[in-house]
Chain A
C-alpha cells in the first residue's frame, strides 16, 4: 500500500515465532536510585510471552517505577532489562515498540478519537486510507464503533480509556504496559473494562504488564501477580498461590483479609490458635512467639447444640453472597466469613472453630531478623511459580 517501509525486509524471522504477538520480558537485578535514595533494590522478574503480569503493591512500592523503566522513561541505575533476549536499556522510549495505557488516559485532546488511534500509524508513515481503516477496526473492537469523530472531552472516563487501549494496540506493540488504567473509573466500569482488557490480551496473546494497587483487580485478571513492597519483590505467583500460601507476612496481610492472632509454635511444629492445632505454611522453631494470619473463611462459627457458646457475636455484615461476622474472643475480635444463609445476630453466643488450613506466621520481636530469611524464600517461590505457569 504505502511504500515507506524499505527497511522492513530486514525484520528477522525470530520475531515471528508466534502464534500470538507475545514477547518475553526479563528484568535482571534492576536497581533504580534517585540520588542517594534507592527505590528499586535488585529487582528480577521473568515474564513469559503472552503472559499478563500484575504488579501489585501499596503506593510508593516501586511498581510504577518498574513499568516506567521498561517503557524507557526512567533510566535504570544498574542491571538489565531485555525483551526477547535483547537489552532495551540503551534505547529511547520511542524505539522500544511498546504500548502504554496511562492512568489519566492521556488522549490527545486536539484530535478526534479516530485520529488519536491512527496517530501511531501516522508516525510509522502508514498511508492515510489504511491507517484510518485500521483505526476504525480497532475502534470497533473496543466497542466504540460510532465514536470515531468525537473528541476525547466528549467521552466518559471508561470510553476514553477504551480509546487509549485501542491507540496502544493498533500499532501492534511488543509489550502492553498498563499503568493503573482503571483507578480513575467507577467501580462498575472498572470491573467491565478489566474483563475486556483481559479478553483482548488473551485473544492477541500479547505480553502485558498491569500495574495496580487493587488486589481484587490483580487476582481477577493476572496469570501471575508480583507483589511488591518497598522496592522489593515480595512474592510472585498465581493468584491462588498468593492467597493460599503467602510467602511473607506482608503478602498474607496484603492479599485478602486475615485475622492477626498472637500465639506460640507448638513442639509438634503446629501453632495453637484458640485451642486448635493449625499447621504452618513454613516451619518455625518450637516455642517461637508468632503472629499468625488466619483467613476469615477458616474461622467457623457454630451455634452450640445445647447451652451457650463461649464467645459473643459483636456485629454482622451482609455482603451479598456471603456474610462477615465479628466475634469477641477474650480481648481480640475475630472475623469469620461464611455463607449468607447462616445468620448470627449481635449478642448471640457462639462457639468458634479454626479449620486446620496452613497459615502464614511472623515471629514476634525478632521479626526483622526473620524477614531476611523469608526474602530468600521468595526467590525460591518465584522460581516455582514460573515453572507452574
Chain B
C-alpha cells in the first residue's frame, strides 16, 4: 500500500473521531503531481523563467492581437472618411474639398455654423442640468437612500430602453408647454438630452460612489456640523471628481451626436445641419464629421491623461 490517496486526509481526521467508514474502499490513488514530475527541475540555480501566468490575464500575443484587430476595425471607417475627402470626382487626389471649408459664404456654412452653435449651447445647458440637478441627486440617493440603489440600476436603464423616437412623441407636448413659458428657445431641447444622458452618467458616478464609503464620509462631515450643501460641495463631489469629469465627457458626446429628437422636433443642431448639407455637399459633411470625431477623441484622451490619479497618491 505504497500509494497516497486523496482520502488519506479524511481518514486520518476520522481515525479517532470514531467514524466507521469501510477502510478498504476502492480509492482513486493520488496521481500527485510531485511524483509525476520528478524528472524535472534538478537545477539548483534557476533563471527567472516564470512558471506562473495568471489565468485571468491575457498572454502578450493574445492581448496585442486582440487590440490590433480592434483598432483596425475602429480606424477603418475613419481612414475611409479621410480617403473620401481627398478623392476627386474622377478618382484622383485633391484637396479641393478641404479648401471649400474656408469658403465662409455658402449656404452650407451658414447652416452648419448655426447647427454647431446650437449644439454647443445645448452641451452647456445639458452639462449644467447634469451637474446641478442630476449628480447631486445620485449622491443623495446613495448616501441617504441606499436601498434605492438596486432599483436605480434598473430605472436608469429605461432611457436607453425607451427609444428616443418614442419618447419624442410624448416630449413634444411637454416641450411645447415649456416653450409657452420661456419662449420658443432651442435650449429647451437640453431638458430632453439630460434624460438621454442619465444612464451613462449614472453608471459612471455610481461605480465611483460604490468604491467610496460615502455614507461614512457624509456622517463624518455632518458630525462636524456641515450642512448637506457643504458636505456635497466640499467633500462628496470632490471625491468623485474623476467620474464627474468622465460623465461630463460622455454627456458632451451624446449631445453632439443626438439626431433623433432634434430632427423630429425640427430644431437645427449639428447633426440635423450635417444631414441637410449632405444633400448639397456630401464632402463637407464628411469633413465636419471627421473634425468633430477627432476633436472629441483628442479631448477625451487628454482629459483621461490629466484625470488619472498620480502614482504617488495611490
**Are chains A and B touching directly in their complex (CB below 8 angstroms)?**
yes
B5 at interface, CB cutoff 8 A: yes
In contact, B33 and A15 (Cβ under 8 angstroms): no
Does the CB pair A90–B2 fall under 8 Å? Answer: no
The reply on B4 being an interface residue by CB < 8 A is: yes
Which one of A5, A20, A83, A84 has the highest number of Cβ atoms from chain B below 10 Å of its Cβ?
A5
Which residue of chain A has the shortest Cβ distance to B34 in the bound complex?
A97
Q: How far is the CA of A79 from the CA of B43 in the complex (A)?
A: 9
Name A's interface SS: loop
Within 8 A of B (CB), among A70-86: 72-80, 83-84, 86
> B40 contacts A8, CB within 8 Å?
no
Binds B, one of A134-142, A152-160, A268-276, A286-294: A134-142
Bound-state Cα–Cα, A90 to B49, Å: 8
A-chain residues with CB within 8 Å of residue B48 when the two chains form the complex = 75-77
| B36 lies within 8 A of A172 (CB) | no
Tell me if A378 counts as interface (CB < 8 A to partner B): no
| Chain B 33-63 interface mask (CB, 8 Å, partner A; 1/0) | 1111110111111101111100000000000
- Chain A residues with Cβ under 8 A from B110's Cβ? none
CB-CB contacts below 8 Å: A305-357 with B: none
B2 cross-chain contacts in A, Cβ below 8 A: 11-13, 15-16
Known: A8-B28, A11-B2, A16-B2. Is A75-B49 also a contact (CB below 8 A)?
yes
A-B contact pairs, 23 of them (CB 8 A): A1-B28, A11-B35, A15-B4, A20-B12, A75-B48, A76-B48, A80-B44, A80-B45, A86-B34, A86-B41, A87-B43, A89-B43, A89-B51, A93-B52, A95-B37, A96-B33, A97-B34, A137-B10, A138-B9, A141-B10, A203-B12, A204-B9, A204-B12
User: Smallest distance from the beta carbon of B43 to chain A beta carbons, Å?
Assistant: 7
Q: Is A170 an interface residue (CB 8 A)?
A: yes
Q: How far is it, in angstroms, between the C-alpha of A11 and the C-alpha of B30 when the chains are bound? A: 8
**CB nearest neighbor in B for A127:** B28
Question: Which of A4, A78, A86 makes the CB contact (< 8 A) with B45?
Answer: A78
A90 touches B9 (CB 8 A): no
Contact status A83-B13, CB under 8 Å: no
B7 → chain A, closest Cβ, in Å? 6
B299 interfacial contact with A, CB 8 Å? no
Instruction: Assess A90 versus B32: contact at CB under 8 Å? Given A74-B52, A75-B51.
Output: no
Nearest-CB residue, chain A, relative to B41: A90
Answer whether residue B166 sits at the interface, using C-beta atoms and an 8 A cutoff: no
Please list the residues of chain A having a beta carbon within 8 angstroms of any beta carbon in chain B. 1-2, 4-5, 7-13, 15-16, 20-21, 23, 28, 72-80, 83-84, 86-97, 121, 124, 126-127, 130, 134, 137-138, 141, 169-172, 174, 200, 203-206
Q: From the candidates A23, A127, A172, name the one contacting B8 in the complex (CB within 8 A).
A: A172
The 5 lowest CB-CB distance pairs between A and B, nearest first, are A90-B41, A8-B29, A95-B33, A13-B2, A87-B41
| Selected contact of A15 from candidates B19, B26, B28, B32, CB within 8 Å | B32
- B6 at interface by CB-CB < 8 Å: yes
Given contacts A10-B35, A94-B33, A124-B31, contact A88 B41 (CB under 8 A): yes
Asked whether, in the complex, the Cβ of A91 is within 8 Å of the Cβ of B41, the reply is yes
Of B13, B19, B30, B42, which is within 8 A of A8 by CB? B30
Contacts of B41 in A (CB 8 A): 86-91
Contact B13 A204 (CB under 8 A): yes
Whether the Cβ atoms of B28 and A126 lie closer than 8 Å is yes
Cβ-based interface call for B3 (8 A): yes
A134 to B33, CA, bound (A): 20
Q: Please name 13 further chain A to chain B contacts, defined as beta carbons within 8 Å, in addition to the given A87-B43, A170-B9, sorted by A numbering.
A: A1-B27, A4-B28, A12-B35, A15-B35, A20-B12, A76-B48, A88-B34, A134-B7, A141-B13, A170-B6, A172-B4, A204-B9, A204-B13
Instruction: Let me know if A138 and B10 touch, CB within 8 A.
Output: yes
CB distance from A97 to the nearest CB of B (A): 5
Inter-subunit contact B35/A121 (CB<8 Å): no
B281 adjacent to chain A (CB < 8 Å): no
Which of B25, B29, B45, B50 meets A11, CB within 8 Å?
A: B29
Instruction: Note all chain A residues with C-beta closer than 8 A to B46.
Output: 75-76, 78-80, 87, 89-90
A93: chain B residues within 8 A (beta carbon): 51-52
Q: State which of B4, B31, B35, B52 has its C-beta within 8 Å of the C-beta of A75.
A: B52
Q: Is the CB of A130 within 8 A of B28?
A: yes
Neighbouring B residues of A96 by C-beta, 8 Å: 33-34
The smallest C-beta distance from B32 to any residue of chain A, in angstroms, reads: 5
Beta-carbon contact of B51 and A1 below 8 Å? no
With the chains together, A282 CA to B314 CA distance in Å? 44
Q: Does B1 contact A (CB under 8 A)?
A: yes
> Are B34 and A7 touching (Cβ within 8 A)?
no
A1 proximity list for chain B (CB < 8 A): 25-28
Bound together, the chains give a CA A199 to CA B270 distance in angstroms of 74
Residues of chain B with a CB closer than 8 A to A78's CB: 45-46
Q: Are B10 and A124 in contact (CB under 8 A)?
A: no
Q: Answer whether A91 and B51 are a contact pair too, CB < 8 Å, given A1-B28, A8-B29.
A: yes
**Is B10 a contact of A87 with CB atoms below 8 Å?**
no
User: Judging by beta carbons under 8 Å apart, are A87 and B42 in contact?
Assistant: yes
Minimum CB–CB distance from B266 to chain A (whole Å) comes to: 52
Within 8 Å by CB of A87, from B7, B27, B44, B52, lies: B44
A32 to B280, alpha carbons, bound, how many Å? 69
| Chain A contacts for B31, CB-based, 8 A | 5, 7-8, 10-11, 124
Chain A residue nearest to B54 (CB atoms) is A73
Closest residue on chain B to residue A84 by CB atoms: B34
The interface residues of chain A lying within 8 Å CB-to-CB of B14 are 137, 141
With a cutoff of 8 Å between Cβ atoms, the chain A residues found around residue B17 in the complex are: 141
Instruction: Please report the C-alpha to C-alpha distance between residue A365 and residue B93 in the assembled complex, in whole angstroms.
Output: 80
Q: Which one, A11, A83, A90, A94, contacts B43 given CB within 8 A?
A: A90
Residues from chain B with Cβ under 8 Å of A87 in the complex: 40-44, 46
Complex Cα distance, B233 from A277, in Å, reads 65
Complex Cα–Cα for A108 and B38 (A)? 31
Distance in angstroms between the alpha carbons of A348 and B236 in the assembled complex: 52
A72:B52 contact, CB within 8 angstroms? yes
Closest CB in chain B relative to A47 CB, distance in Å? 15
